[in-house]
Structure formats: structure tokens, C-alpha cells
């Protein structure tokens, strides 16, 4: 690997990554997923104290998972790294996992729109190593640029937005002290639609306490009543991910989520974010076409989100 050194375990604090690191691979979020069971593998330049590639696996019951309990994990690496060097790093990681008794590896990659070139390269290299795609999802994100959001959406959604403005809805950024209220509101909205939240309040609260600067709460109010909300995650300094958003069933005709997204888009522009991730559109591992259609109508751009697995011999 020429100047690069393979390193297993935690690195000293003076080592700096030369790639965009996602929150779900940051130490603070890893520890919110599990306090132990982690194995970290890195590709470093020891002289410059720079990290050129890295992956974190949680090992349990002979299975290595990246992530353990997060929307994604996967390998992070510098785009200047040669494909051959990256491939050799993947091989070395696999060999180390075998030595430690791992018999299955599961990798949930980032949405491809986050890093199109790197995800394309990684997907091919993983398949070269006989990893199989066990889950493929359509992810939708709104690209934040100089164009107004209302110029990106369908005419039907624009009409809904204008109605929300006539109703004089109010958008607010909320403090984390409102987390329980927003979570309970979201849960009630899901119950109205015979659905459940994937994360308990206790689990979400624990994660937020570990990562207090990485969560954002937004609300839409009508005459001081909360009618729509979003629990969002600062994935990087340029990406916000809507972990949960919801609105009252009684507000379906008004569609306050459209008003929420318009204001979130403005928030992103004002604070230097380039993507507002709306998440995947899946229900029981199948594409939910009505949800996907809504995300298309509000300006969502599609990309793949792939999960890979391999049985180690």
C-alpha cells in the first residue's frame, strides 16, 4: 500500500481524516449505538498523521455490521485514493474480520447522492469481492442551491404552499427541550395512520444526549397549535436528514408538510447546507409508490441506497 499503513483500533487524537466524515461514523454516535463491540480499521499516512480511509464495524454473534443502529455506516475514504489501494484496504479489512471469527459482514452504504463517485467505486469493489446487494432502496433528497424551493415543486404542491401562507401558518426552530413533545406528537400522527415509530423515545433521547449539536427540531403552528414537525439530523456540515416528519391527519387537506419543507429549505440555504435528505420510500422492504411520488412532487432527487452482505468462508 506504498506510503499507507493499515491500522486496527482507535487512532490517536492527532490523526485527522481527509474525507467528509458522516455523523453516524463519528465516535460520539457510535457510542450511542453501543458502548462496546466496535472494531475500527483505518488506512493512514503515519508521517502526516492523516487518515485516508476508515470503517467501523460492530461485532456481535459472529456478524460484523456497519452500522449497528443507524441509517448507514460503510467505508469512508478520500477521493484521491487510487482504486487499487482502496481495494487492497477492503481485502485487508475482510481478512482481519475473518481472523476475529466473523462469519458474516453487513454494510449499509450512504445514499449515492451524498458522494456519487465514491459510492459508485465502492459498490463495484464490494461486488468484486463477492458481496451481494441484499437490499436496494430509493432515497430522495432535495438539492439546496440558488433556486427557490417553490420553483422546484409541482404546481399542485405550490398551490398547497400558497394556501398554507394564506392560513398564516408559523414555522419555528425548536430547542431540544421540546424533544419529548415533538416525539409524542410524531408518534400520535403515526398512530392515526396505523403506523409505529422505529425508535423509542428513551433510545432517541439517549442518542440526542450523546450528540446534542447534531439534532434539529422544527415545528409548524396554526394559531399556536403544533400541526406539523420534523426531527432532523445534521449528518455533516452540508447535509440535513429528516429522520422523522409528521402532521396531523386533520391537516391533510392543508398539507402543512409542504410549508415545513419550504422553510427547512430556506434554513438550509441560510446555513450552508447543500442537501435536505427526505429518506427512503420503503414499506416492508418494498417501494412505497405514494410516498415516493410525494417526494418527487416536492423536488426530491433520486439516488440508490444499497445494503451489502457477505458470508465469510
What phi, psi does 231 have (nearest 5°)? -105, 110
108-125: average pLDDT: 97
**253 occurs within a structural domain:** yes
How many independent structural domains does the chain possess? 2
**Co-location of 257 and 155 in the same domain:** yes
63-66 and 104-108 beta bridge pairing: parallel
> Per-residue pLDDT tens for 250-263?
888 899 999 999 99
The residues near 88 (Cβ < 8 Å, ≥ 6 apart) are 1
**Do 124 and 160 belong to one domain?**
no
pLDDT-derived band of residue 308, with 50, 70 and 90 as boundaries?
Answer: very high
Task: Tell me the percentage of the chain whose pLDDT exceeds 70.
Answer: 99
Q: What average pLDDT does the structure give for the chain?
A: 95
C-alpha cell at 39: 472494531
pLDDT on residue 283: 72
- Residue 65 counted as domain residue: yes
Same domain, 17 and 53: yes
CATH of the domain at 234: 3.40.630.30
Q: Is residue 19 included in any domain, yes or no?
A: yes
- Tens digits of residue pLDDT in 175-194: 999 999 999 999 999 999 88
Query: Residue 216: pLDDT band by 50, 70, 90 thresholds?
Result: very high
The answer to whether position 290 is within a domain reads no
Give residue 267's domain range.
145-273
- pTM here? 0.93
The length of the chain in residues reads: 313
The pLDDT score that the predictor gives to residue 282 is 79
pLDDT band at 2 (very low <50, low <70, confident <90, very high): low
> In the predicted model, what is the mean pLDDT of residues 31-48?
95
Q: What is the pLDDT of residue 209?
A: 96
Amino acid at each position: 500500500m506504498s506510503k499507507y499503513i493499515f491500522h486496527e483500533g482507535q487512532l490517536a487524537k492527532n490523526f485527522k481524516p481527509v474525507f467528509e466524515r458522516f455523523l453516524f461514523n463519528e465516535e460520539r454516535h457510535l457510542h450511542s449505538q453501543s458502548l462496546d463491540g466496535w472494531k475500527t480499521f483505518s488506512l493512514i499516512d503515519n508521517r502526516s498523521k492523516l487518515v485516508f480511509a476508515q470503517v467501523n464495524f460492530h461485532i456481535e454473534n459472529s456478524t460484523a455490521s456497519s452500522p449497528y443502529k443507524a441509517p448507514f455506516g460503510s467505508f469512508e475514504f478520500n477521493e484521491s485514493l487510487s482504486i487499487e489501494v482502496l481495494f487492497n484496504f477492503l481485502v485487508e479489512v475482510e481478512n482481519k474480520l475473518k481472523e476475529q471469527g466473523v462469519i458474516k459482514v453487513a454494510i449499509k452504504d450512504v445514499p449515492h447522492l451524498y458522494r456519487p463517485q465514491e459510492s459508485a467505486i465502492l459498490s463495484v469493489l464490494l461486488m468484486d469481492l463477492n458481496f451481494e446487494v441484499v437490499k436496494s432502496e430509493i432515497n430522495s433528497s432535495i438539492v439546496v442551491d440558488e433556486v427557490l424551493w417553490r420553483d422546484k415543486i409541482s404546481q399542485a404542491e405550490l398551490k398547497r404552499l400558497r394556501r398554507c401562507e394564506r392560513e398564516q401558518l408559523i414555522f419555528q426552530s425548536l430547542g431540544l427541550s421540546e424533544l419529548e413533545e415533538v416525539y409524542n406528537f410524531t408518534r400520535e400522527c403515526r398512530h392515526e395512520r396505523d403506523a409505529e415509530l422505529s425508535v423509542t423515545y428513551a433510545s432517541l433521547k439517549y442518542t440526542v444526549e450523546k450528540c446534542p449539536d447534531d439534532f434539529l427540531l422544527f415545528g409548524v403552528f396554526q394559531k399556536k397549535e403544533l400541526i406539523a414537525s420534523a426531527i432532523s439530523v445534521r449528518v455533516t456540515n452540508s447535509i440535513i436528514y429528516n429522520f422523522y416528519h409528521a402532521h396531523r391527519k386533520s391537516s391533510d387537506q392543508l398539507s402543512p408538510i409542504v410549508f415545513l419543507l419550504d422553510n427547512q429549505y430556506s434554513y438550509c440555504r441560510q446555513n450552508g447546507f447543500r442537501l435536505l435528505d427526505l429518506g427512503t420510500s420503503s414499506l416492508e422492504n418494498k417501494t412505497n409508490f405514494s410516498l415516493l411520488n410525494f417526494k418527487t412532487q416536492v423536488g426530491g432527487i433520486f439516488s440508490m441506497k444499497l445494503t451489502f452482505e457477505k458470508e465469510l468462508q
